[in-house]
Structure 1
């Protein structure tokens, strides 16, 4: 009976193959609201100013955080001077070698890599928190006209990561993350 039901379900709605990015967005231990933002960002569906203008809205397309370049996903979350300050701090904490990300594919590639100093799950925690707080700050500037310095956002990201690690410290995967993050 079960096999028959499964075949009917597959006929109605066939499953797609697993996406290569799924493990860096929907992993065990992810904070749901941050994973959701990461998922929306991955599909490039965040309502950035460039995207809103493409829908016919008569708004400026300049970035809310730096006012210099068009606000699209890659600029806002990766290459904006405001975002770069935050990413430099995060990457310094994880001690990776290399440079900042120029586009979304570079970020996804970095998230999939794994080292003893910066395990993939810890990288995902950091990326999710960073993307979430950058988007939150963008909305804060756009809707509340409140500019918060990057250092305050860094403190929020650090607190979120520490809280997430503490909340999951009984899971084997998260046991050694606090010393790696705190160093």
Structure 2
């Protein structure tokens, strides 16, 4: 990396171009955020650049003294050790005099220089703290534990998540994009296809979901709405109850298989009876439960 990208310069100011590797370009784009989290702790100053490393509280000196470049002073490659004499600060660069109060507050330990990671209290880097620093935080998704849980199938969970956010490519949305010419539901051929119709106003999906609720001994309600069903599962079942796992598996699997049946009819011109779709849902839940039980037994051994 030093030979190809930095070439004797400074890591923080090295740039990227279109022909560079994706890894280096990504590193270049996140350097500014990394600088906010890193502070060099001065021991003997031998590995810390005066100008380019963040070793004082205000940040990098090269960013603070905009009107003066390191090349003008002839100290561009100097390390902080040049400012230390007999374990005391010896500021021999005149332009650094305004920063003397900040520099004087830094203790010189005489040990090797080290990096301190500011987002954590102990100064030690962790991927958890780094991810929390760079990611964009949003509102908490209230139904997260209905979508994602240890026994869930990632593909089914993702399909349910898209359905809850109304991001599935239903025909009402495709028509708005100018992609589809028909908006009729292919499962019932009775109404306009939308997220709300598929889950659960369509006679085809209503029948399947009713069978699932009957097996789970869930109370049937008049409101045929996916979000309402998910909220009822979250509210009516205890977190550590086995029936809660079954209810979440049933909702995940039902949304997935209804969507797969829609795709099968549109792109493969094949139809599956709703009883057979329910059978597949039942088998998926059975396999998930058996696998979870085997994993628990293996963990105890």
Same fold (TM > 0.5): yes
1:7 and 1:14, CA in 2 relative to 1: closer, same or farther beyond 3 A? farther
1:127 is matched with 251
Measure how far apart 1:8 and its partner are.
6.6
1:16 and 1:171, CA in 2 relative to 1: closer, same or farther beyond 3 A? farther
1:65 and 1:19, CA in 2 relative to 1: closer, same or farther beyond 3 A? same
1:101 and 1:167, CA in 2 relative to 1: closer, same or farther beyond 3 A? farther
* SS of residue matched to 2:293: coil
8 Å CA contact 2:213, 2:220 repeated in 1? no
1:98 and 1:85, CA in 2 relative to 1: closer, same or farther beyond 3 A? closer
2:267 is matched with 143
Measure how far apart 1:62 and its partner are.
0.7
* SS of residue matched to 1:119: helix
8 Å CA contact 2:186, 2:265 repeated in 1? yes
Matched residues in 1 for 2:249 and 2:281: separation? 10
Residue 159 (structure 2) pairs with residue 34 (structure 1): no
Comparing both structures, which one devotes a greater share of its residues to helix?
A: 1
2:293 is matched with 169
1:7 and 1:154, CA in 2 relative to 1: closer, same or farther beyond 3 A? closer
2:237 is matched with 114
Higher RCO (Cα < 8 Å, 6 or more apart) = 1
* SS of residue matched to 2:237: coil
8 Å CA contact 1:96, 1:118 repeated in 2? no
How many aligned positions are there?
A: 172
Matched residues in 2 for 1:29 and 1:90: separation? 18
8 Å CA contact 1:77, 1:135 repeated in 2? no
Which structure 2 residue ranges, 5 or more long, are not aligned? 1-115, 297-301
Residue 184 (structure 2) pairs with residue 62 (structure 1): yes
1:160 and 1:100, CA in 2 relative to 1: closer, same or farther beyond 3 A? farther
With the length of structure 2 as denominator, give the TM-score of the two structures: 0.53
Measure how far apart 1:17 and its partner are.
4.1
1:88 and 1:10, CA in 2 relative to 1: closer, same or farther beyond 3 A? closer
1:52 is matched with 174
Larger Rg: 2
Matched residues in 2 for 1:105 and 1:160: separation? 22
* SS of residue matched to 2:174: helix
2:280 is matched with 156
Residue 205 (structure 2) pairs with residue 87 (structure 1): no
Measure how far apart 1:119 and its partner are.
2.5
The one-character-per-residue Cα deviations of 1:71-107 (angstroms, maximum 9, x if unpaired) are 1011113110111110111011011223254212211
* SS of residue matched to 2:198: helix
1:175 is matched with none
Q: CA RMSD in A?
A: 2.3
